[in-house]
Amino acid sequence: MSNTQIQIEAKNLTIGYGDYVLMKDLNFSINKGDIFIIMGGSGCGKSSLLRVLTGLVQPLKGSVFVDGANFTSASPATKDKIMQKNGILYQSGALFSSMTLGENIAMPLQLYTKYSAPQIKELVSLKLALVGLAGFEDYYPSEISGGMKKRAGLARALALDPEIVYFDEPSAGLDPVSSKLLDDLILDINHSLGTTIVIVTHELSSIFAVGNNSIFLDGASKSILARGNPNDLLRNPPNNTILEFLTRGEGKNA
């Protein structure tokens, strides 16, 4: 069996809204077990691409394949089945403020599994412990820090043991220490569970710390300007745009 099994594949993908095109004819693949970074300048379409990959928005053209199945053109029932294998961590954590952390994490288990209430309670405790929040079941989102909210959101994203987890700017709004803790958690989940992880970010420290594969979206050409391991791109930048981005405009590579 190949060690580079393709799990997600974008074919001739054009994304945008109405007549406005953000990116056109994108072709890339994400291997099982990758920590895949989608990077690029502000407004180039990174988050829009993530919405297409997760099925929240239809592309203007092209298709997304997940484990060989055409996710884009799938029936609602098939699409729902594929989406249950995915977890998503939004920028803010997107926790329901009127529910405790335990209730937030229990919700997908109640909706999509046949576990009993005691089993769900046990799983909620396990997921919170996995992200370093053991004992926080009865806390409300307003009672915890921003970094803890991100981790609680991740616990909910992991509730159904997804094969793929998508992150939208996971370090946004976090201090450097909290950001580093989240990076370490992402690596732990990837290594221990084999979860494929897709991250939209422009946080360079995170990009270099966790990413083993990437694409760089270029707003000017509306295309992929570079692809590969971010650390390799820093050592051997294919063009000046990549060098400027990966060195914060200093123009000096490793």
pLDDT in tens, 29-81: 999 999 999 999 888 899 999 999 999 999 999 999 999 999 999 999 999 88
Instruction: Return the pLDDT at 147.
Output: 85
* Strand pairing report for 164-168 and 86-89: parallel
Domain of 73 in residue numbering reads as 1-85+200-254
**Is 206 part of any domain?**
yes
Question: pLDDT tens digits, residue range 172-199?
Answer: 777 888 888 889 999 999 999 899 999 9
- Amino acid, res. 19: D
Q: Which of 85, 72, 97 is nearest to 32 (CA)?
A: 85
DSSP notation for 144-174: S-HHHHHHHHHHHHTTT--SEEEEESTTTT-
Could you count the other beta carbons within 10 Å of the beta carbon of residue 210? 22
The structural domain count of the chain equals 1
* Residue 14, domain member (yes or no): yes
Cβ proximity of 216 and 209 under 8 Å: no
Candidate from 1-5, 7-11, 30-34, 122-126 with smallest mean pLDDT: 1-5
Weakest mean pLDDT among 4-18, 51-65, 81-95, 142-156: 81-95
- CATH of residue 232's domain is 3.40.50.300
> Does 1 score more than 50 pLDDT?
no
Residue 32 lies in a domain: yes
Global confidence as pTM: 0.91
Spatial separation of the C-alpha atoms in residues 231 and 185, rounded to whole Å: 20
**Helix 146-157 vs helix 117-130: angle between axes, to the nearest 10 degrees?**
130
| 3-state SS class at 4 | coil
Report whether pLDDT(4) > 80. Answer: no
How far apart CA 109 and CA 106 sit, in angstroms, is: 5
Query: Which DSSP string do the residues of 177-234 spell out, in sequence order?
Result: HHHHHHHHHHHHHHHHH--EEEEE---HHHHHHH-SEEEEEETTTTEEEEES-HHHHH
Q: Is residue 215 part of a domain?
A: yes
Token representation of residue 160: 């159904």
| Rounded alpha-carbon distances, angstroms, from residue 66 to 31, 89, 101, 154, 164 | 11, 19, 30, 21, 10
3-class state of residue 108 by DSSP: helix
